[in-house]
Each structure stands twice: as C-alpha cells, then as structure tokens.
Amino acid sequence: MTEISRRRLLGASGIGAGAGLAAGIGGTYGVMGAAARGGEDSEGFSGKQTVPFYGAHQAGVETPPQAHAVFLAVELKDHVDAAAMRRWLRILSDAAAALTQGKAPLADTEPEMTAQPASLTVTFGFGRKVVELAGADKVPAWLKPLPDYSIDRLRPELCGGDLLMQICSDDPLTLAHASRMLMKDSRAFSEIAWAKESFRRAYGTDPKGTTVRNPFGQVDGTVNPEIDTDDFAALVWGDPNAPARPGASGRKEVESPRGKAPADLNSAHPDWMAGGTTLVLRDIAMDLESWDLADEPARDFSVGRRMKDGSPLTGEHERDIPDLEAVGSDGFKKISPASHVARSRNDKKPAEQIFRRVYSYQSLSKGPIRDDVEGVRQINDAGLMFASFQADIERQYKPIQQRLAEADLLNVWTFPIGSTVWAIPPGASEGGYIGETLFG
C-alpha cells in the first residue's frame, strides 16, 4: 500500500492522534452530558417517559401538554365503509399503542426511531362522516361546523377533515416519525385534508405549572380547569366522578371561584361517547406586525392583564381573580368591558368554562410592504392552534365564542382562519381499539 493510500484510508477512517483525541473528547462529553441530564435510566431523562395509551379516556386531553404537536386531519376515500373503518381504527390504535410506549409498530421500517417516546400521545377525533358510517342515529346534533362569526376569515382548506389525529411529544423527531408511521397506516383509507405543526416551551424550560405564553407574549391559559380534579372531570368529561388518568393519585376536590360546574354536561352525548369529550379546534392567525406597533399599556388594556406577568389589572399576581367592577380614579373601569378577560368570563354561569390546550406556530415569509408600495418585507405567519375541550359545546364553548366575536379588543390583531369540530371518543381497553364503542 502506498503512503498516499494509507493517508486516504486513515483520513476516511478517522484514525490518528487528532481523530482519536476528538473521539475521546466527544465520547466523554456525551457521557457527561447524559449524566448531567440524569441518564437514560433516571427519572429526569425525558426521552424514556411514556404516557399510557389504554384507559377510560384517551390520552392527550388531561395529559400535561407536551412541547410539540401535529394536528393532522384526513378525509376518507370513497371506498371506506363501516367494516373498513373498523379495520383502519384497529391498525391505528395498535400502531399508536406501540409508538407511545417506545415500541415499533408492524409497518415501521425505522424501529430505531421509536426508542425515545418522550411522552408521546396520539388522540383521535371523529368528524360527522366517520360517525355516519356507524349509522345516522349515532351522530350527535352538535357534531357540525360552528356558526359563522363576524370575526371569521375562514379558509375552506383549513376547515375540512373526517378524522383528526392530535399527535404530541416532547421531542420533535419522535413526533415526526410517529406522524409518518400513522400516515403510512392511513394511505389506503384516507388522504390528508390539512396538517399543522405547532409548539409550546421546550421540555424543562419553565418550572412545572408555569402558564404558557403565545406569540404575542401573552400569558395564555391562566384560568384553565386544573387537571386531576373533580372540576376538570365535570367540565371536560361531563362527569365529576370520571376516573383519573393512569398514574395519577386520584381526583381532588377544588372550589372554583365561579362555583361548582354542573354534573350533567355530558347529557347530549350518545351512549358510544361515554368517557369521551368534544373538541373545537380553531386556527387563529395573529398579526405580529401590527401588534409590534402597540405599546405595553395598550396591550395590557386590550387583554385586561399585564403582559409582564399575566396579573389582572386589578390584582398583583397571575392567579388573582379579576375584579370586573373595579373603577379607577378616572371614573372608568380598571378592566375594560371590551377587554379579552372581561369578554371571556361569565362568573354567574359556572358551566361557561373550557379547557384550552393551546399550541403556537410561527414562520417567516416574504410579502409586500403595502399594495401600493414596491418592495418586500419579512412577514410572520403566526398564530395559535386553539384546542378547546369541553363536555358540551352548546353550553360551554358557544356562549364564550359569541361574546368574543361581538366585542373583544384582541380581535384587532387576531382572526380565525380554520375551524373544525370533533367528537373525541373514549379510550380503549388493552386489546381493543379507539372507536370500538361506536363500531362494535
């Protein structure tokens, strides 16, 4: 072997003092980095964390929100009937059950990608067409598009779909692989209607229990029902005695400042939805360019809370209850009746509460400065995937949405571009499948 050949071989193999030193440093750093995070076998290593797939309720609702999400809506192909739907749901359920536990489903050609589920969950939602396959008498009256609201700028391509998959994980690579596997299982039965990737804070960025911020910087979700409580069970599952999620110590009683939620919010659910809930999913665009022009007092006034910490304008801390009747020295109410806080609250009706599991999205693109001016600027395509879970859309969601549509100062900067309504069926028992209560 010539000297040149040796050099090429050594270079290609990464052999030599320099390469060995680099490998040693890299290896040591990798081990130390893993140890600093807690290591694969420690409780603090998020990649190995799993969320049970089987249970009375589907995961991904009461589950603490993960850092990343994909909302994937598909349309049924013409040949899909009830029997085909049943087969497909079995396939999807088996695949989701495996993926969420860090195991490879049967059709997985990259099983190495499944080893770090990072709290992966897959939540399925049924549209009207899916339910109709089991019989027209199975379709609840509320499973239909929302009314037209004055603030809507809906795009038809973001408002369709027959089956929804909400796929969430603390790791984006895990999420991408799980989404691909589930779509491989769906090709024979459906086509993509629309999909939206979105995010929250990265895992471990904020202390546990910190309220997330949206692209406006607004603290978003302060008054959400607390998971693992009877209040949550009543408002979301429609049953204050609903089973707690797997791994939880049980449900605790809470005294909501709005009063006790009604115990019959699931009364409009058909029998097959026992243990399920409803989802209103709104894609809300946010105009960051014009939001940049509003100063801090204007932002606080519009929201009714201080941007810096989420505290109401009548309080000092985020969790303080807003006093919507308090009047300032100028004779005007401290919290404007047109603010987002004032319009979204109705303390006289405990039923008018929802559980929002909000995810953000944002990307850059080029766009005109103005129609009559030459040149381009960077445009932020930003917004929220506003996932609202509630037992009763008519009694919980719609009254709130109607007030917001009539008058909400945030409407200056936000407008819904997508809107869908889904029935979230109950969870499945091991060996069963999601939708078994409907298709039998």
Per-residue pLDDT at 377 exceeds 70: no
How far apart (Å, rounded) are the C-alpha atoms in residues 286 and 367?
Answer: 16
* Residue range 374-398: mean pLDDT, rounded: 87
- The pLDDT of residue 375 is 56
Q: Evaluate if residue 39 carries a pLDDT over 50.
A: no
Looking at beta carbons, which pairs linking 329-333 to residues 24 or more positions away fall under 8 Å? none
Least confident of 50-59, 200-209, 240-249, 371-380: 371-380
Whether the Cβ atoms of residue 152 and residue 415 lie closer than 8 Å to each other: yes
Distance CA 114, CA 49 (A): 12
Q: pLDDT for 268-290, tens place per residue?
A: 999 999 999 999 999 999 999 89
Instruction: Tell me phi and psi for residue 156, to 5 degrees.
Output: -55, -35
pTM exceeds 0.75 = yes
Evaluated on CA atoms 126, 263, 219, 347, the torsion sign reads positive
Instruction: Give per-residue pLDDT as tens, 101-125.
Output: 999 999 899 999 999 999 999 999 9
Determine the pLDDT at residue 44: 53
Say what the pLDDT of residue 6 is. Answer: 38
pLDDT at 33: 34
Packing angle, helices 82-100 and 172-184, rounded to 10 = 150
**DSSP per residue over 96-155, as a string?**
HHHHHTT---TT-S-GGGGS--SS-EEEEEE-HHHHHTT-GGG--TT-SPPPP-TT----
* Residues 63-81, mean pLDDT to the nearest whole number: 98
Q: Rounded to whole angstroms, how far apart are CA atoms 412 and 432?
A: 47
CB 174 within 8 A of CB 120: yes
Residue 215: Cβ-neighbour burial (10 angstroms; 0-12, 13-18, 19+): middle
Answer for the pair 289, 380: CB distance below 8 angstroms, yes or no. Answer: yes
- Averaged pLDDT of the chain: 89
Mean pLDDT of 383-391: 98
pLDDT of residue 256: 81
